[in-house]
Amino acid sequence: MLHFDICCCTYNSAKWLETFFAAFRQVEYDKQYLHLYFTDNCSQDDTVAQLEHYKEKIGKEFGNFEILISSGNNGFGSGSNCSARAGKSEYLIFYNVDTAIFSNAFVEIERAINKAEDSVGAFELRQFPFEHPKYYDPITLKTSWASGATMVLRRKVFEKTGGFDESIFMYCEDVDLSWRIRLAGYDIQYVPSAATMHFTKANAEGMKSVEAAGQLAGEKILRLKFGTEEQVKQWQDYRQYLLPKVQQDNKASELAEDLLRKVDSYKKQYRSFYKKEVLPKGFVPDFVVGYDFLRAGDNYSARLPHGCPEITVVIRAFRRPNVLRLTLQTLVNQTYKNFQVIVVEDGEKPISEKVVEEFDGLLQIQYIPLNKSAGRCESGNVGLSHVTTKYACFLDDDDYLFADFMETNAVLIEENPHCGMFCSSSVVAKTKNLNEDGSQFVFVEKKNLSVKNLGRANFYADNPVPIQAVVFDMELFRKYGGLDVQLDAFEDWDLWIRYSTHCEIAWVDKALSVFRVPADQQAVRKRDAAMAKYRTVIYGKMAGYSSTFTAQQIRALFWTPDQQTEDGEKDIEQLKQSVEEIRQSNVWKIASPLRFVFGAIHGGCVKLASFSERMAALWGPPSPEKGCEDYGKLQRFVIDTQRSGYMRFFQTITQAKRNR
């Protein structure tokens, strides 16, 4: 067994401790290998008294139980570092006390550490009920940063990096440490099978005012330490839409001012770090929201299945064993294990059997070579004919499942027993292959393929989901057949139309899979041209079906942002998307300094109101705060920006270039 130092920072945390310790006492791990260290940041409640009570009551159950008292409230990073320095185990866990760890978490962490290469310096546990939506590699489980609430670190990496930057009071300190871990040459690995319940994240509420204050300062620190001069300047745009949230609370406003003053006092030190450490190594961080691409489904409240619905995955393969190996690894990574795998290899000379044999013992897997060129449809049908479970899904040999795919679908099946199709969102990844068989590649762009309130009508309008994003009841296959062998494209769409005509659909708006498409535009055009004729065939077949739709389902396909829903609320999603597109455009960013200046004039100088209005009309209006739900405000911003002289000037130039 491995020794772990559990490093906690407390501040007015008394209400969480009973649940915290109850969970730790239930772990399926020898607790003598768990060493508890608590640093209290001068709590005003009875946190310290309760810690002393638990030390007296259960302290001997653990390898160590130490309580350290800080000289003041110096922030999460400082307290966590203090706890880490008190221990001496080879592995340490930065861990929040507003949590309840799952009983098997340490077993899973140990398993992940033992399997990992030495290049993996840190690990991250999964949080329930709201998993952080940042992207992770479904094959390797590598991620760009780890949450400080559940971060596992090799002690040698802690010593090499120095742990958390103690100049960061709270928020973004985990991103900063994660990026420094990567700067030091280490990877970070997600461990979705090791989980904890995070109670302060037990709802999907938006950012609180105090959190916004910390985020405002933390974002500036990250840009000063890791960003270019241009990225540092762009913090002002971030400030514009966070400030209204901060100003909703006087305490948050005061906190923001104090934190930003502290940030400015460290500015030279931060920029020196950028020049000496970041710039020479070519490290390029991502300053988008969440500091990485975010999967759809951040509001999905995860739960575990109570029963064991069994699913079979039918993989259509074609002479790409190295590609298939990657896909099979994403199945090994599944947190829910009650599923089978059938690999059907098309082609006269199948060559993937040895790869399938590598996973015998890791998966319940069966290999079926066709020994002929049959095509994808026949391959899929042969696979379905060998399915013995009640539910099945397809997976092509170059697409991937995130670790919670099976788990989430098992819950969806349990909660919707009347349904025959179970659908989810997906990540569409534009892929640049680096070798001939496609086993080495990079994703040049990722986008969520997500449909709100997906239903039968969506399948009649277009194909709303990729093939691997649907789990279905095998009774549909027995009654209404499999893939149409006359089709060489859109065969899944045709299947879903047939099935959805005869069953109800359950839907979860969470991206559970990755669907690879070519990034090369020439390849895309060639692919689309080959598929176009089959779209016509699908619509022709559709004309022979008979189905029913509600008026609400039809309207959902065609409504526009200025139309009202039944309860009188206006749909603003498209407007919010337009706002974000404007914010991200180079034209908007170029005008940011001038817009800020004239916006300030407009807001503060009554005598110059007329002049400032003209300038605002020229350079564009101030951006609405991030997360704004005010339809009128968003609409005015989009309209005023489109009408601004600056935007129209660039549109005129762009149009002139196109007309040449």
Domain assignment present for residue 297? The answer is no
What is the domain count for the chain? 4
Q: How far is CA 217 from CA 134, 148, 222, in A?
A: 21, 17, 9
Report the pLDDT value the prediction gives residue 610, as an integer from 0 to 100: 47
What is the residue range of 361's domain?
A: 311-557
Residue that terminates a domain, selected from 529, 557, 585:
557
- Rounded (10°) CA dihedral 194, 200, 204, 207: -120
User: Is the residue at 295 inside a domain?
Assistant: no
Q: Determine the Cα–Cα distance for residues 487 and 539; give it in Å rounded to an integer.
A: 13
Which helix (H) or strand (E) covers residue 381, if one does? helix 376-385
Query: For residue 192, is it within any domain?
Result: yes
Residue 76, pLDDT above cutoff 60: yes
Asked if residue 277 and residue 381 are part of one domain, the reply reads: no
- For residue 79, what is the domain's CATH number? 3.90.550.10
Among 75-84, 159-168, 236-245, 265-274, name the one with the lowest average pLDDT.
236-245
Q: Would you say residue 408 lies in a domain? A: yes
Q: Which stretch of 20-24, 300-304, 635-639 has the lowest confidence by average pLDDT?
A: 635-639
3-state secondary structure of 461: helix
In a domain, 296, yes or no: no
Instruction: Check whether residue 130 and residue 176 sit in a common domain.
Output: yes
159 and 197 co-located in one domain: yes
Cβ atoms of 157 and 163 within 8 Å: the answer is: no
Q: Are residues 499 and 479 in the same domain?
A: yes
Pair (132, 10) in one structural domain: yes
* Residues constituting the chain: 660
Partners of residue 283 on adjacent β-strands: none
Mean pLDDT, residues 163-176 taken together? 92
pLDDT tens for each residue of 486-527: 999 999 999 999 999 999 999 999 999 999 999 998 888 888
Q: Based on the domain organization, do 379 and 491 belong to the same domain?
A: yes
Closest CA to 591 of 633, 649, 536: 649
- Could you tell me if 396 and 316 are in contact, meaning their C-beta atoms sit under 8 angstroms apart? yes
Radius of gyration of the chain (CA): 27
pTM of the model: 0.83
Per-residue model confidence (pLDDT) at position 128: 95
Choose the final residue of a domain: 252, 287, 322: 287
Lowest-confidence region among 143-152, 261-270, 558-567: 558-567
Residues 143, 62: one domain?
Answer: yes
| Tokens 């993996």 found at | 120
Is the domain of 175 the same as that of 225? no
**Residues 638 and 604 both lie in one domain:** yes
Looking up tokens 């942002």, which residue turns up?
561
Considering the domain architecture, whether residues 194 and 62 belong to the same structural domain is answered as: yes
Q: In terms of pLDDT, which residue wins out, 25 or 567?
A: 25
pLDDT reading at 366 higher than 60 = yes
* Residue 50, in any domain of the structure: yes
* pLDDT tens digit sequence for 284-303: 998 988 899 999 999 999 99
Residue 304 lies in a domain: no
Same domain, 94 and 225: no
| 70 has a pLDDT exceeding 60 | yes
Last residue of a domain, one of 146, 174, 201: 201
- Two structure tokens written together for 42: 């001068």
Q: What is the pLDDT of residues 313-356, one digit of tens each?
A: 999 999 999 999 999 999 999 999 999 999 999 999 999 999 99
Report d(CA 77, CA 169) in Å as an integer: 7
Say how many CA atoms lie within 13 Å of 77 toward its Cβ: 21
Does residue 231 register a pLDDT over 90? Answer: yes
Indicate whether 414 and 481 sit together in one domain. yes
Q: What is the pLDDT of residue 591?
A: 66
Residue 607's CB: how many other CB atoms inside 10 A?
8
Residue of higher predicted confidence among 239 and 423: 423
Residue 365 is encoded by which pair of tokens? 């897997």
